[in-house]
Amino acid sequence: MVETLPVGRFQLQQHRLELKRWAPAFLSSHKTLFTVLWIAAFASVFLWQRNIVGGGFSIFGKAGPGRPMPKTRPFALNLTDFGAVGDGVTVNTAAFERAVLAISKLGKRGGAQLNVPPGKWLTAPFNLTSHMTLFLAEDAEILGIEDERQWPLMPPLPSYGYGREHHGPRYGSLIHGQNLKDVVITGHNGTINGQGQSWWKKYRQKLLNHTRGPLVQIMWSSDIVISNITLRDSPFWTFHPYDCKNVTVRNVTILAPIFEAPNTDGIDPDSCDDVVIEDCYISVGDDAIAIKSGWDQYGISYGRPSRNILIRNLIVRSMCWRINRQRDVWWGI
């Protein structure tokens, strides 16, 4: 008599036999295994970076609409109270200047926070003041005006002697500050957008008579914090702290096209002490980070090397990554 197996047991044994034949062949194929792992890793990084760019440095994406802006100073002022209109067309330079002037009068009382609500806030360059927090709400975007005639001219940096691209004066930065203390630029991943496309085009066509300006430049200042915002499409270097002390850049996204966005360095500490740069995503058309101390005899004469700089936990996508030596002046950590 022939013993017959129940259908379920017979199918189970058949599956086991097929698995035994298939598994060694699959596992022995290193190429197949590597391909599967590579695809999984690539997908994970892609999804992570998409969340970074789309919703700040967070795996949870964007916050819900109407997220309240926290109060970080004794006083909180709203940009709209000074006549600003966030339609992307109205020029709001005067509104920013009036707001900063009001904050400057509150310095002895702990300073104030300037809230920039959702909207597109077109402006020419403006200055910050001490004991100030510039807070950009989610979906708030400060737009730099594209007409270079609205950008003020400034003397060359003393450790450079002349502009990097032209002799004589240089354009100032969209957001600027000198001789300040206790300045914070932060938010719910709002954006400061230099609208650099027109600048890059004019630079390539040699239509500019002065060196392009950075997006954010803070000079001769201390206790500076930039966090939880996006900086994008700078005309030139993106964030340039110059001869500053105690600078922190944390959870910042910096964006510019990889190609045809000349000199859009991410972060350039220049003759700075005690700097921390961490947990940032930087994708730009030149150096992600370039540590500087002026150049040539001007940098040597100025005599302020960059010191005590900590850089960690970055995602970088750029034309180059370097800690470099330029002529006679060392850039280094």
β-strand 75-78 against 245-250: which pairing, if any?
Answer: unpaired
Residue 304: count of CB within 10 angstroms of its CB: 16
Residue 122's φ and ψ, nearest 5 degrees, are -75, 135
Q: Which amino acid is at 268?
A: D
296 flagged as catalytic: no
What is the residue-wise DSSP string for 83-99? T---EEEEE-HHHHHHH
* CA 119/CA 211 separation, integer angstroms: 30
Reduced to 3 states (helix: H, G, I; strand: E, B; else coil), residue 238 is coil
Q: Catalytic: which of 243, 286, 287, 328?
A: 286
| Count of positions (residues) in the chain | 333
Handedness of CA 282, 285, 290, 292 (dihedral sign): negative
* CA 152/CA 298 separation, integer angstroms: 24
* CA 76/CA 74 separation, integer angstroms: 7
The catalytic site residues sit at: 286
